[in-house]
A and B are shown apart, each in its own frame.
Chain A
Amino acid sequence: KQEVTQIPAALSVPEGENLVLNCSFTDSAIYNLQWFRQDPGKGLTSLLLIQSSQREQTSGRLNASLDKSSGRSTLYIAASQPGDSATYLCANGDTGFQKLVFGTGTRLLVSP
């Protein structure tokens, strides 16, 4: 059974810092790896999707990498802003029906 772990569980940084969120998974037979953002009491917004054949994806200040062999993905946020404050979830898609298996998330707080 696939298990996804995210470290740290919570992170508080001052505005402007670069930061890294970590995601690890136990089964390397994944179809893809996605990073989502969730604001309090809201649904999920997809940030980046990395196919299993890819190593990284970039969107603006966000960069996500994938190392299947070690079962790890990282989300790098450059020059953090207060508006980045949210919970960040990683999830991998299985090779069947594409259901997503989520980690428990990292709660990020960026202070002005």
Chain B
Amino acid sequence: DTGVSQDPRHKITKRGQNVTFRCDPISEHNRLYWYRQTLGQGPEFLTYFQNEAQLEKSRLLSDRFSAERPKGSFSTLEIQRTEQGDSAMYLCASSPRESPYEQYFGPGTRLTVT
């Protein structure tokens, strides 16, 4: 069990560019969550997948954001036309079927929009 992995760990991009992040959950975890954390704040929920189905989206997830989990394994989070306000740490977590409340977090992807 290698834990939740995220790639890249750091991303610097210019305003207006598109970026995509990847999350690989712990194998056989059927639930996957994305959170966003800005400096000095706690993480905020963005979206949730159960297997390949996206079951909940926060209103924080504007139409510039899209997330997928095509085969119920890894997930991608894409941000189109990035803005400086998108600068944050993007955290992914997964949880197993038998214990949905136990979320295991990845190291995060830190996005800086210049």
Contact = CB atoms under 8 A, between A and B. Distances in A.
Q: Say whether A and B bind each other.
A: yes
Interface of A: 4, 31-32, 34, 36, 41-46, 49, 89, 91, 93, 96-105
Q: Chain A interface mostly helix, strand, loop or mixed?
A: strand
Interface in B8-64: 31, 33, 35, 40-45, 48, 50, 55-56
30 contacts: A4-B42, A32-B101, A34-B101, A36-B105, A41-B89, A41-B110, A42-B107, A43-B91, A43-B106, A43-B107, A44-B43, A44-B91, A44-B105, A46-B103, A46-B104, A46-B105, A49-B102, A89-B43, A97-B50, A97-B56, A98-B95, A100-B33, A100-B35, A100-B43, A100-B45, A102-B43, A104-B41, A104-B42, A105-B41, A105-B42
A109 to B, nearest CB: 15
B48 to A, nearest CB: 5
Interface of B: 4, 31, 33, 35, 40-45, 48, 50, 55-56, 89, 91, 93, 95, 100-108, 110
